[in-house]
Structure 1
Amino acid sequence: MPPIIAKVLKEIGLSDKEAVVFLVLLERGPTLVSSVAQIAKLNRTTTYGIIKELVQRGLVSSVQKQGATRYQSIAPELLPGYIERRREELAENKKNIEKELPQIELLRNKRSILPKIQFHEGAEGVMAVYDDHLATDEPYEMLGFADLDQIVKFLPQNYLTKYMREKEKRGIKVRGIFADSELARKYTTELHPNTRESMRAAIHYLPKENFPFKGEITAYGKNKVSIINLKEDQVSALVVADESFYEMMKVIFELAWNGTSS
C-alpha cells in the first residue's frame, strides 16, 4: 500500500485491515469477497465484516455480476472529495467534544470522591510507578519503607542512577526506613556520592529480620502511596491516589521513624 494513501486513510478513521481491503477494491474493481480475502491475506469472515463496515461508511458498494455479489470501492476520482468531507466531519466532532469537556470533567469530579487505585503487573509496570515518583514540577518530601538490596537488584543501574539524579533535580527530599544491610548503610555515600548536602537522604534502619517484605512502601507527591512488591515471581505494584490514605501513611511513617534510629 502506498504510504501516503495509507496515512490518509488512517487519518479518516480506517484501521490497518480496513485500509488494506479498501485498497484491494480500489485497485481491482468489482471483486468477490473470497478473492479480496485471499489478496488481503485475511480470513473470509473478517473480510466480509470489514466490507460491511466500508459499505456503511459509503466507501464501498455492491454489484451483481454473473449471478454473484461483488464489491467495489467508490470511483478513484471521488476519493479526494470523500476524504475532505470526512475531515470536515472529524473537525466538527472535535469542536463538539471540546464543548462538552467541562461537563465530562464535572462527571469525573463526582467520581473522584473515591480513592483512585491502579494495579501494575510485571517489571514494566513497576518501572512506570518509579517514573510516577518523579512526575512532579514541585519539590516534596518522599517518605518510605524499603529493602534497598532488593531495589538495587531489581532496577537497571543506568535507570537507578537517573532516578537518583532526577530526584535531586526536582527537589525531592527523602526520609527512609531501610532494612539494615551493608548496602543500605552506604546509601548516601555510594548511591548518592555527588548529592548536595542539603538534599542528602535521612535514613533510619530496622533489623533485617523485622523487615518481612521484599520491596517498598512510599508516600509521595501530594496524595499518593505506592506499594511495590519485588518478590521474583510476584513483581507488581499498587498505587493509591487519595489524600486520606496519603495522610494515614505519613502518620504510620512518623510513628516508625520516631521508634528507629540512624
Structure 2
Amino acid sequence: MTTRKTQALGSLGLDTRQIKVYQSLHKLGPASIRDVAAEAGINRGSTYETLKQLVTMGLVNYLPKGKRRVFQAEDPEQLLSLGESKQQALAQAMEELRKDIIPALKQARPEFSPGNVRFYEGDDGVELVLRDILKSTAKQGNNAYSVISTKTLRQHLYRPFPNFTRQRVQQGIGVRVIAVGEGGDDAELAERKWLPAGAGTDASYIAIYPPKVAMITLADQDYPVIVIIDSAAIASTQQLLFDTLWRFL
C-alpha cells in the first residue's frame, strides 16, 4: 500500500498494525487468526487484539467455523462511514472548543504568568514577530499598530520577511512609526515621524499591537533577540506613551 493510502487510513484513526491486518484480510478473504498473522507479519496475540479493535470500528466481522473464528473484512465502503463519523465528531469538537472549552480555559488562566512572555532568536524569530503583528492586528480589528525603530536595526528587520510591507498594505493595516535616526522608506498606510539619534542609541525595535508588545534588539554579530509580552496592561501603557510622544513631534 502506498504512503498516501496509508496516510489516508491513518487519518481515519487506524494505526500501522491495524492497517496491515485490515489489508491482509482483504487479500486473504475469510481467514483464521493464524493466517492473518502470517500474512501481516505480526504475532498471533497482537493480531487477535487488532482484529477485535477492527471489529469494534465496524471494519471487520467474524463467523464461527467449528471451534474457531474466521475473520473477514467488511465492504470497503465502510471506510466512508467511518470517515463521516470522524468528520461529524471533529465538527462537534471544534464547536465545543469555540463555544465552551477555549473561553473556559482562557478565563481560568491567571491575568499574567511567565507564559505571557516569549523569547525568540534569529531571523526566524523576527519573521514570527512580523507575522504575529499582522495576524493579531487583524484579529483585534484595530487595523493599525505603532512602532519605535532605530536606524541601526531597520536594515535587519525585513530580511527574513521581505514581503511584509506588501502583505500589510494588502490587509489594510496601517502603521505609525517613530523613527530614531535618519532613514526609513515611505510606504502606503504608513505615517512616520522622527527623533534624533543620540550618541548612545542602540539597535532596537518596539512594536505595540495591543494586547501585545514586541521588542527586538541585536546581540553580537547582529544576531536578533526578540521578546513578546502578551499583556493588555503593558500594551496600553506603552500605547499611551507612544501617543503622547507622537503628539509632541
The two structures share one fold, judged by TM-score above 0.5: yes
C-alpha change, 1:20 and 1:230, in structure 2 (3 Å) is: farther
Deviation of 1:257 (Å) = 5.7
Deviation of 1:139 (Å) = 5.4
Pick aligned residue for 1:176 from 178, 187, 190: 178
Give the structure 2 partner of residue 199 of structure 1: 190
Deviation of 1:246 (Å) = 0.7
Any idea what the Cα deviations from partners look like across 1:63-121, whole Å, max 9, x if unmatched? xxxxxxxxxxx634x26255245234424423542563422143134136624444444
Give the structure 2 partner of residue 129 of structure 1: 129
Partner Cα distance (1:75, 1:252) in 2: 73
Amino acid of the residue matched to residue 245 of structure 1?
I
Deviation of 1:9 (Å) = 0.4
Give the structure 2 partner of residue 30 of structure 1: 36
Confirm or deny: 8 A CA contact 1:218 1:227 kept in the other structure.
Answer: yes
Partner Cα distance (2:49, 2:128) in 1: 37
In structure 2, the gaps of 5 or more residues are 29-34, 61-70
Give the structure 2 partner of residue 111 of structure 1: 108
Residues 1:149 and 2:147 aligned together:
no
Partner Cα distance (2:39, 2:219) in 1: 52
**Structure 1 runs (4+) greater than 6 angstroms displaced:** none
C-alpha change, 1:84 and 1:122, in structure 2 (3 Å) is: same
Normalising by structure 2, what TM-score?
Answer: 0.64
- Between 1 and 2, higher relative CO (CA 8 Å, sep ≥ 6) is seen in 1
C-alpha change, 1:84 and 1:34, in structure 2 (3 Å) is: closer
Mapping of residues 1-262 of structure 1, within 5 Å = 1-2=1-2, 5-14=5-14, 17-18=16-17, 21-22=20-21, 25=24, 30-31=36-37, 35=41, 54-55=50-51, 57-58=53-54, 75-76=72-73, 78=74, 80=76, 82-94=78-90, 96-98=92-94, 100-101=96-97, 102-111=99-108, 114-115=111-112, 116-135=116-135, 136-137=137-138, 138=141, 140-153=143-156, 155-156=158-159, 159-160=161-162, 162-169=163-170, 170-178=172-180, 180=181, 185-187=182-184, 191-192=185-186, 195=187, 199-211=190-202, 214-220=203-209, 222-231=210-219, 235-254=224-243
Deviation of 1:226 (Å) = 0.9
C-alpha change, 1:8 and 1:226, in structure 2 (3 Å) is: same
C-alpha change, 1:95 and 1:256, in structure 2 (3 Å) is: closer
C-alpha change, 1:143 and 1:129, in structure 2 (3 Å) is: same
Aligned residues: 220
C-alpha change, 1:2 and 1:239, in structure 2 (3 Å) is: same
C-alpha change, 1:249 and 1:12, in structure 2 (3 Å) is: same
C-alpha change, 1:208 and 1:103, in structure 2 (3 Å) is: same
Any idea what the Cα deviations from partners look like across 1:184-240, whole Å, max 9, x if unmatched? x121xxx32xx35x73422223325133xx4422102x4221122442576443323
User: Structure 1 stretch 92-101 or stretch 123-132: which is displaced more?
Assistant: 92-101
Deviation of 1:54 (Å) = 4.1
Aligned-residue Cα RMSD (Å) equals 4.2
Question: Residue 244 of structure 1: SS of its match in structure 2?
Answer: helix
In structure 1, the gaps of 5 or more residues are 38-47, 62-73
Confirm or deny: 8 A CA contact 2:147 2:175 kept in the other structure.
Answer: no
Deviation of 1:256 (Å) = 5.9
Normalising by structure 1, what TM-score?
Answer: 0.62
Amino acid of the residue matched to residue 155 of structure 2?
V
Give the structure 1 partner of residue 64 of structure 2: none
